[in-house]
């Protein structure tokens, strides 16, 4: 230590001439005095008891120390600690803690009058600690600072240690706490507190300090663990529950936070903050009903909390209770009339609730405070749009864009407004701006694709639709439109593939099956085409589809199905003569001549100028051997159309057959 000086380190004092001689005379005198004293004392002791022999030995040692320079022997050390006396001999140990105060009162040695005897305790006191008031806390601090260091009470003669009593320094939890409080770094504070709690596991205060320090230094999990240990010992420790709830809230572990806040409420049923935090947690979890219930509970305990009221209004909005939300926002606004955020939230709620005039008025107030608030102008535009005031809607969107030209959402809304006004080219221009600012915007792509489809620019439409399809993988309507565009581009294979995807993802209706049938037809897949035509007809039979099917059925000699197809067409167009003649023709192919004749006649009732039907009716009569009737119908055909080769050829034939039949 800085106060310690050994015999080597002491400053040597220069001897003056004659010093050695005077020292010799002095020792001689002392020796004579001692011998005289010893002789007297020895006689007395010998006469008293045998115990005097040991005393005589000590006297002898004293003479040897004094005259011959022998190293003195230490018999004991008397120490007073906290008002109690201790006598320590060689082999004993002295215990000290931070609470102790002690004094080395006396040293018993062979040295005459303890001449040149000093006491030194390293780490405290001065160069001679004899009869000095000493405090154990100094040794404790030294031990903590250097754990491997040993301490002792050293007795010195002429700066040479002649005896030593080891000191056992007892470190207590409070010592580590003291050092933790005084430490300059978080790391060392944590280390000291960890030692404190290891020594005293039930010290909840030390654990609280340690837990808080863990959290502050980023060791959140360790902090949580300490708070849990505290709560195992003291389940109702409110301070620990509150700190633990804060950790869970910051860590977005809302379910755990809710559980802790419930425990807090059990301890303090009037804790409005706990209810508010439960409400906030439920809101973050998307459970708006419970968020509302707990916000309302919090407000019953503390009606003046504008934050909770504001959050309650938001929760009302999420559950569609716009009227209740507006009422809460109004209350908050009364307490915070100049708060722009509250004004915006209030006006947004009015906008969603359809209170467009109120929304516009409040947004105007926002603009007075924030003249460059682009969102306010955009929302005013939206309100005007819902009021049907297109010019004002567009004007406000343009103002918003002038303040925030790179906002894709405002450009999109402006484009939609242009569409409402049938200003499609301007709308397309805005959609292109949206895609420039936000290339992945699927809505803008879709709207622009619709524009190109309307403009019959099928190539550009396909490119955009296919990009949308990559995002909206199962959107049947997108694939249907791609199929249509490819069909218009006469790329029937690609058209069919996209119609198939549309049907796979749920597209229904006669048109998609019809278009797919056409695509199949164009690529030579006739059977697949017919299958799709049939599906189209099952949804809604049309003349075009049923005509295709009827022709196919006749070609495939599926006569009954062909007849059914014609019947369905007759239901669509009951006065269509050609449909009856079609049934007649199919019946003729089947050999059902009477039915064929009936349908030909029905056809002629609707169109008596069709020479072909007259020819077919004549042919039917001919098959039945009714040549007179056949001649009549062929003649009718010829009269209508003298260029009819069949009629011209059949008339003489019928006359011949009539003669032949007459002469049979």
652 has pLDDT over 90: yes
Q: What confidence tens digit (pLDDT) does each residue in 575-594 have?
A: 899 999 999 999 999 999 99
273 has pLDDT over 60: yes
For residues 463 and 196, the model is more confident at 463
CA 553 to chain centre: 62
Average pLDDT over residues 431-458: 95
CA distance 237 to 227: 10
Task: Look at the domain 564-662 and name its fold.
Answer: 1.25.40
Contact 463, 479 (CB under 8 A): no
Share of the chain above pLDDT 90, in %: 67
Q: Which pLDDT belongs to residue 64?
A: 60
CATH number of 474-540: 1.25.40.10
41 has pLDDT over 60: no
CA distance 121 to 128: 8
3-state secondary structure at position 77: strand
CA distance 438 to 435: 5
Q: Which of 37-46, 62-71, 301-310 has the lowest mean pLDDT?
A: 37-46
- The two tokens of residue 255 are 């379910």
38 has pLDDT over 80: no
For residues 297 and 189, the model is more confident at 297
Q: Which pLDDT belongs to residue 112?
A: 76
32 has pLDDT over 60: no
Q: What confidence tens digit (pLDDT) does each residue in 374-410 have?
A: 999 999 999 999 999 999 999 999 999 999 999 999 9
Q: Which pLDDT belongs to residue 13?
A: 36
Q: Which pLDDT belongs to residue 224?
A: 93
Q: Which pLDDT belongs to residue 17?
A: 45
- The two tokens of residue 408 are 């894709």
4 has pLDDT over 80: no
Domain with CATH 1.25.40.10 in the chain: 474-540, 564-662
Q: What is the pTM of this model?
A: 0.60
Q: Which of 31-40, 295-304, 331-340, 510-519 has the lowest mean pLDDT?
A: 31-40
CA distance 104 to 111: 17
Q: Which pLDDT belongs to residue 477?
A: 93
CA distance readout (Å), 593 to 588, 597, 657? 5, 6, 19
Contact 411, 395 (CB under 8 A): no
CA distance 30 to 408: 112
Report which DSSP code applies to 130.
Answer: B
Between vectors from CA 431 to CA 430 and to CA 436, what angle results, nearest 5°?
95
CA distance 297 to 307: 14
CA 104 to chain centre: 68
Q: What is the mean pLDDT of the chain?
A: 87
CA distance 545 to 514: 8
Q: Which pLDDT belongs to residue 21?
A: 44
Report which DSSP code applies to 114.
Answer: G
419 has pLDDT over 50: yes
Q: Which pLDDT belongs to residue 63?
A: 64
35 has pLDDT over 80: no
Report which DSSP code applies to 68.
Answer: I
Q: Which pLDDT belongs to residue 422?
A: 96
CA distance 526 to 529: 5
Q: Which pLDDT belongs to residue 60?
A: 59
Contact 413, 381 (CB under 8 A): yes
184 φ, ψ (degrees, to nearest 5): -90, -15
Q: Which pLDDT belongs to residue 207?
A: 86
Q: What confidence tens digit (pLDDT) does each residue in 238-255 have?
A: 999 999 999 999 999 999
- The two tokens of residue 305 are 């909390």
Q: Which pLDDT belongs to residue 527?
A: 92
Q: Which of 36-50, 64-78, 554-568 has the lowest mean pLDDT?
A: 36-50
Q: What confidence tens digit (pLDDT) does each residue in 151-188 have?
A: 888 898 888 998 899 988 877 777 767 766 767 788 88
CA 252 to chain centre: 8
Q: Which pLDDT belongs to residue 16?
A: 42
Contact 116, 158 (CB under 8 A): yes
59 has pLDDT over 80: no
Q: Which pLDDT belongs to residue 65?
A: 61
Average pLDDT over residues 277-304: 95
> In which element (H, E) is residue 522 found?
helix 510-522
Contact 380, 404 (CB under 8 A): no
- 324 band by pLDDT with thresholds 50, 70 and 90: very high
CA distance 247 to 436: 43
Q: How many CB atoms lie within 10 A of CB 277?
A: 25
Share of the chain above pLDDT 70, in %: 89
- The two tokens of residue 558 are 């599926």
- 124 band by pLDDT with thresholds 50, 70 and 90: confident
The order of strands in the sheet holding 101-109 is: 84-88, 74-81, 101-109, 133-135
Q: Where are the alpha helices (DSSP H) in 370-475?
A: 374-386, 390-403, 408-420, 424-437, 442-454, 458-471
610 has pLDDT over 70: yes
For residues 261 and 138, the model is more confident at 261
- The two tokens of residue 615 are 């020819």
């Amino acid at each position: 230590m800085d106060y310690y000086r050994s015999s080597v380190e002491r400053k040597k004092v220069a001897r003056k001439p004659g010093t050695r001689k005077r020292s010799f005379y002095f020792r001689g005198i002392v020796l004579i005095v001692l011998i005289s004293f010893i002789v007297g004392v020895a006689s007395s002791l010998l006469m008293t008891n045998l115990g005097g022999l040991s005393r005589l030995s000590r006297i002898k040692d004293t003479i040897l120390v004094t005259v011959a320079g022998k190293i003195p022997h230490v018999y004991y050390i008397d120490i007073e600690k906290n008002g109690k006396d201790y006598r320590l001999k060689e082999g004993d140990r002295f215990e000290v803690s931070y609470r102790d105060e002690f004094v080395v009162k006396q040293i018993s040695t062979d040295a005459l009058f303890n001449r040149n005897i000093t006491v030194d305790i390293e780490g405290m006191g001065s160069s001679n600690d004899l009869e000095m008031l000493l405090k154990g806390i100094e040794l404790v601090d030294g031990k903590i600072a250097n754990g491997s260091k040993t301490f002792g009470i050293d007795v010195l003669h002429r700066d040479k240690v002649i005896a030593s009593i080891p000191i056992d320094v007892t470190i207590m939890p409070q010592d580590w706490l003291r050092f933790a409080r005084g430490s300059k770094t978080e790391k060392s504070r944590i280390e000291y507190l960890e030692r404190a709690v290891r020594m005293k596991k039930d010290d909840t205060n030390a654990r609280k300090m340690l837990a808080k320090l863990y959290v502050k230094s980023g060791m959140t999990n360790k902090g949580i663990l300490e708070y849990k240990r505290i709560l195992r010992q003291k389940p109702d420790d409110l301070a620990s529950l509150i700190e633990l709830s804060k950790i869970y809230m910051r860590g977005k572990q809302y379910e755990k936070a809710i559980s802790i806040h419930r425990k807090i409420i059990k301890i303090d049923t009037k804790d409005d903050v706990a209810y508010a935090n439960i409400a906030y947690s439920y809101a973050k979890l998307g459970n708006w009903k419970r968020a509302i219930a707990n916000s309302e509970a919090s407000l019953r305990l503390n009606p003046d909390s504008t934050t909770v009221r504001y959050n309650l209004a938001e929760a009302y909005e999420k559950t569609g209770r716009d009227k209740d939300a507006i009422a809460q926002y109004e209350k908050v606004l009364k307490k915070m009339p100049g708060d722009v955020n509250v004004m915006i939230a209030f006006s947004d709620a009015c906008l969603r609730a359809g209170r467009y005039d109120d929304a516009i008025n409040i947004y105007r107030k926002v603009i007075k405070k924030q003249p460059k608030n682009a969102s306010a102008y955009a929302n005013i535009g939206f309100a005007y749009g819902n009021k049907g005031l297109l010019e004002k809607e567009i004007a406000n969107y343009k103002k918003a864009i002038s303040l925030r030209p790179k906002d894709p959402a405002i450009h999109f809304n402006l484009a939609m407004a242009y569409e409402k006004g049938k200003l499609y080219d301007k709308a397309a221009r805005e959609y292109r701006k949206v895609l420039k600012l936000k290339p992945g915007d699927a809505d803008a792509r879709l709207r622009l694709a619709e524009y190109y489809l309307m403009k019959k620019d099928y190539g550009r439409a396909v490119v955009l639709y296919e990009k949308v399809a990559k995002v909206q993988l199962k959107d049947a309507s997108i694939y249907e439109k791609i199929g249509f565009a490819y069909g218009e581009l006469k790329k029937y294979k690609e058209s069919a593939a996209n119609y198939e995807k549309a049907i796979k993802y749920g597209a229904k209706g006669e048109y998609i099956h019809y278009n797919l049938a056409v695509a199949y037809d164009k690529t030579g897949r006739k059977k697949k085409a017919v299958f799709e035509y049939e599906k189209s007809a099952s949804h809604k039979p049309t003349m075009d589809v049923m005509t295709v099917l009827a022709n196919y059925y006749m070609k495939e000699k599926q006569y009954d199905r062909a007849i059914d197809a014609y019947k369905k067409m007759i239901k669509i167009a009951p006065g269509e003569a050609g449909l009856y003649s079609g049934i007649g023709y199919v019946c003729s192919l089947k050999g059902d001549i009477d039915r064929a004749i009936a349908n030909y006649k029905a056809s002629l009732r609707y169109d008596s100028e069709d020479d072909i039907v007259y020819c077919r009716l004549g042919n039917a009569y001919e098959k039945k051997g009714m040549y007179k009737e056949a001649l009549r119908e062929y003649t009718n055909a010829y009269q209508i159309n003298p260029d009819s080769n069949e009629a011209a050829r059949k008339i003489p034939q019928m006359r011949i057959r009539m003669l032949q039949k007459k002469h049979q």
